A = this chain, B = another copy of it.
Amino acid sequence: MESLFVLAKKKFQNIDMVVNNAGHSSSADWERTVAVNCQGIVLGTLLGFKYLGADGGGKGGTIVNISSVSGLAPCHANPVFSASKHFTIGFSRSVGTEYFFKRTNVKVLTLCPGITHTEHHVRNVEGLPEFPDLGKELKKLLECNRSKQSPEDVATALMQILEDGENGSVWVAEAKEVYKCVLPDRCTFVPPKKDPCKKAEPPKQEPLKQDPCKKAEAPKK
């Protein structure tokens, strides 16, 4: 992959941005999905830091890693793909931080497209080896959620976030709409605790009210 960066640098003198968009979504060939979607994202990002990085002779710039709305929620019909897109978000948010920006002047954004009409989705609908009928589930899911956007819509979203996106931010481009994800802090995942210092108040005894909607029962004979 590095030869591509060398070629681009040679041709354009300077590289301003990298879009790590290559992806694989077949469950039948899930090892390839992990290799392309996880290892590919890490490698592409590290090379981006190297060739764009102000610390290595570059001028800084932006890396956009393409995840998916499946990276924001589980997807039973395509579990390895969904997992790999969770990976992308976790990685991009980890390196889209001050430590890396200070050294490279490169910001890292994540874009999560919703279902988009591409050849890719039409082809890769096989299930996991042990669950071959999972492919049908995925097909059903894709048919029920008809693509409302084209690859061009996603490209437009990408141009927009290049302008607006701050380092580490995560964006959704779905059904032609673009918005920045508000990802909650993990301390909010804790279930609400009972305050151990607070004594339980005795329940208030309200006077019994007659239910105005309840019909009077007929007197028993």
Query: Which residue numbers of A lie inside 8 Å of B, CB to CB?
Result: 30-31, 34, 38-39, 42, 46, 49-50, 69-80, 82-91, 93-100, 103, 128-131, 134, 137, 168, 172, 179-186, 188-191
A86 to B82, CA, bound (A): 10
A–B complex contacts, Cβ < 8 Å, 11 sampled:
A30-B42, A31-B39, A34-B38, A34-B39, A71-B90, A72-B189, A80-B91, A82-B91, A83-B90, A181-B190, A184-B189
Nearest first, the 5 A-B pairs at minimum CB distance are A86-B90, A79-B94, A83-B91, A74-B93, A76-B97
A103 vs B76: C-alpha distance when bound (angstroms): 13
Residue in B83, B94, B96, B186 whose CB lies within 8 Å of A69: B186
Q: In the assembled complex, which residues on chain B have CB atoms less than 8 Å from the CB atom of A85? A: 90
Is B191's CB under 8 angstroms from A38's CB? Answer: no
Select from chain B the residue with minimum beta-carbon distance to A183: B189
Q: Is the CB of A182 within 8 A of B190?
A: yes
A8 to chain B: closest CB distance in Å? 18
Within the complex, the shortest CB–CB distance from A19 to chain B, in Å, comes to 18
**Which residue of the partner chain, among B34, B181, B191, contacts A182 with CB atoms under 8 Å?**
B191
Residue on B nearest A129 in the bound complex, by CB: B46
Q: Which of B182, B188, B190 contacts A189 (CB 8 A)?
A: B182
Query: Taking A137-B99, A186-B72 as contacts, is the C-beta distance between A38 and B94 under 8 angstroms?
Result: no
Q: Distance in Å from the Cβ of A65 to the closest Cβ of chain B?
A: 10
CB distance from A39 to the nearest CB of B (A): 5
A131 CB → nearest B CB, Å:
7
Q: Who on chain B is nearest to A97 by CB? A: B76
* Chain B residues, Cβ within 8 Å of A99: 76-77, 131, 134, 137
B103-A82 in contact (CB<8A): no
How far, in Å, is A1 (CB) from chain B's closest CB? 13
Q: Which residues of B contact A97 (CB under 8 A)?
A: 74, 76
Name which of A90, A172, A180 has the most chain B CB atoms within 10 A of its CB.
A90
Distance to closest chain B CB from A29 (angstroms): 12
Q: Closest CB-CB distance, A92 to chain B, in whole Å?
A: 8
